[in-house]
């Protein structure tokens, strides 16, 4: 595919305005997309358009960054581009991705190799492990009994969004007024996305700082959003993004992240005696075990089971040292972190 690049440049002169490395990177991404499609039979590559709301391209080589002048030097930009630096770093620049958002903002995401190895994983112990059950009414329930509120960011702007979208549809296609209203709607969506991302960062940061082992479910969110009654609420909660944040932050800090299977009966299993309630419905937020009589909170019970299933999956066994639970003060620290950072 890359061998056709010379012929394409002769046919389309505008391709000469872009550096060859970026074009090769785009062809490589296209090749990867087709390979993934033929392997999984899902997600056929979509044709790109210069009119798409989100645009991006990669520069894998010949990129320089001047911290003093706050300028980014890319191929075809000899004078450099003035930027706002978020932070300084040391290391080798591998790839720079330039992207434009629907609100017409430009960002440069820089991939850097700092040549530092990841820290070794901390030992798995029951007292420093936590199980997390995510939900809609409550965003997350921890196995130690704490509940994290679901702020439902899109609900706060839903009424305004509906009104703006009605106004947008009345505008003539291709008109400047329609473009202005499209940008206004994009700004509201961007604010919601930023609020959600900020909240999830704070929650995941607090959890990975306080616990050495995090246990979660491997949820098939693509299948779950097919339910038209819950699709918007599931998407707004950001479970997939939350899982991604937990994974890479655990890697950074040398913490353990254990995932259990999607079909593990974490909600239907009694965390006290191990009995199963096959008739449990989604609307049942509390239930009583018919075998031992324990009254269980659905979310808390699931979080405790997720922790137990995950620890059993790793072959972890209780020792005499582990049975003597030390007073680590984790509960107070986590609560204050959630209260200060997430509320």
For residue 276, the 8-state DSSP code is B
For residue 90, the 8-state DSSP code is -
How far is residue 127 from each of residues 119, 169, 173, 306, measured CA to CA in Å?
A: 21, 56, 60, 15
- Helix pair angle (176-210, 153-170), 10° resolution: 170
Q: How far apart are CA 101 and CA 56, in angstroms?
A: 9
Contact 273, 292 (CB under 8 A): yes
Is 144 catalytic? The answer is: no
- Kindly name the residue from 217, 286, 297, 327 that is annotated as catalytic: 217
Is 218 catalytic? The answer is: no
Q: How far apart are CA 165 and CA 230, in angstroms?
A: 21
Is 127 catalytic? The answer is: no
Element (H, E) at 180: helix 176-210
β-partners of residue 138 are 149
Q: How far apart are CA 321 and CA 327, in angstroms?
A: 13
- Kindly name the residue from 7, 127, 155, 299 that is annotated as catalytic: 299
Contact 310, 258 (CB under 8 A): yes
Q: How far apart are CA 203 and CA 211, in angstroms?
A: 12
- For residue 81, count other CB atoms closer than 10 A to its CB: 13
Would you state the structure tokens that stand for residue 192, as one six-digit string? 């919601």
- Kindly name the residue from 66, 133, 286, 324 that is annotated as catalytic: 133
Catalytic positions are: 133, 217, 299
């Amino acid at each position: 595919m890359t061998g056709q690049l010379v012929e394409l440049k002769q046919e389309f002169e505008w391709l000469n305005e872009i550096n060859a490395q970026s074009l090769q990177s785009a062809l490589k991404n296209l090749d990867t997309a087709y390979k993934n499609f033929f392997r999984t039979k899902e997600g056929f590559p979509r044709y790109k358009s210069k009119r798409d709301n989100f645009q991006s391209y990669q520069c894998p080589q010949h990129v320089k960054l001047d911290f003093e002048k706050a300028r980014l030097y890319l191929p075809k930009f000899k004078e450099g581009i003035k930027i706002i630096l978020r932070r300084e770093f040391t290391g080798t620049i591998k790839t720079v991705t330039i992207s434009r958002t629907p609100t017409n903002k430009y960002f440069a995401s820089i991939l850097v190799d700092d040549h530092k190895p990841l820290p070794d994983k901390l030992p798995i112990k029951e007292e420093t492990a936590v199980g997390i059950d995510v939900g809609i009414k409550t965003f997350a329930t921890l196995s130690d009994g704490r509940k994290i509120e679901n702020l439902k960011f899109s609900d706060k702007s839903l009424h305004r969004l509906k009104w703006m979208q009605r106004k947008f549809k009345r505008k003539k296609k291709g008109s400047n007024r329609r473009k202005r209203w499209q940008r206004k709607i994009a700004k509201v969506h961007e604010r919601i996305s930023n609020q959600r991302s900020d909240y999830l960062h704070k929650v995941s940061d607090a959890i990975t700082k306080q616990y050495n082992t995090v246990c979660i479910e491997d949820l098939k969110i693509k299948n779950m959003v097919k339910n038209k009654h819950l699709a918007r609420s599931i998407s707004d909660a950001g479970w997939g993004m939350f899982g991604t944040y937990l994974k890479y932050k655990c890697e950074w800090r040398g913490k353990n992240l254990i995932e259990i299977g999607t079909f593990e009966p974490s909600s239907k299993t009694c965390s006290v005696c191990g009995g199963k309630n096959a008739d449990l419905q989604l609307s049942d937020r509390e239930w009583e075990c018919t075998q031992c009589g324990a009254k269980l909170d659905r979310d808390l019970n699931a979080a405790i089971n997720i922790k137990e299933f995950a620890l059993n999956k790793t072959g972890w066994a209780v020792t005499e040292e582990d049975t003597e639970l030390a007073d680590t003060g984790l509960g107070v620290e986590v609560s204050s972190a959630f209260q200060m950072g997430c509320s």
